[in-house]
Amino acid sequence: MQEVQGYCQDCCAGAEALHAASVVMRDFRSPNVLTRNGAEGKYVIVDLEFAGPNKYPWTLDWLHGWDDHTLNQEGQYDTFSDMYQIGKLIEGLPFWRSNVRPPALMSFVNGLKSKRLSASEALQHIWITGHC
């Protein structure tokens, strides 16, 4: 689970850096999260082809993996859309098919998918910090 925790942390840290610059990734998928320099437990976001301004109205076809909950109510892709997509990304990882999902991880993913956690808040979640 430590590897999964690091993966989650690195995805959220990447999102936090982008969001601090008012940029959203728009394409959080497993092919776009790679191991950095072969270092175990260190991941980097790649392929920023679809990255762009936060809350920009999306008028093109949806990207792979988007669903009815990806865009906000105004039809915009925003920072919470990125966090939602990270939640979906985590659910798509091979370990998710097992029945071993700690309550803190479930709370973390639910917070992402319900768009209640910003990237900064996600990095402070008990699943990432290990603190109660």
pLDDT tens readout for residues 41-93: 689 999 999 999 999 888 889 999 999 999 999 999 999 999 999 999 999 98
CA angle at 66 for the pair 62 and 69, rounded to the nearest 5°: 115
What's the pLDDT band for 3 if we cut at 50, 70, 90? confident
pLDDT tens digits along 110-126: 999 999 999 999 999 99
Distances (CA, A) of 102 to 6, 20, 34, 79, 120: 15, 30, 24, 26, 21
98 pLDDT tier (thresholds 50, 70, 90): confident
Nearest 5°: phi and psi at 57?
-60, 130
Q: Taking the alpha carbons of 75, 93, 126, 101 in that order, is the dihedral positive or negative?
A: positive
Say whether pTM exceeds 0.85: yes
Q: Which three-class secondary structure state does DSSP give residue 71?
A: coil
In whole angstroms, what is the distance from residue 15 CA to residue 79 CA?
8
Please name which of 6, 14, 20, 16 lies closest in space to residue 32, comparing C-alpha atoms: 14
Q: pLDDT band for position 131 (50/70/90)? A: low
Burial 41-73 (b: 16+ CB within 10 A, else e): eebebeeeeeeeebeeebeeeebeebeeebbbe
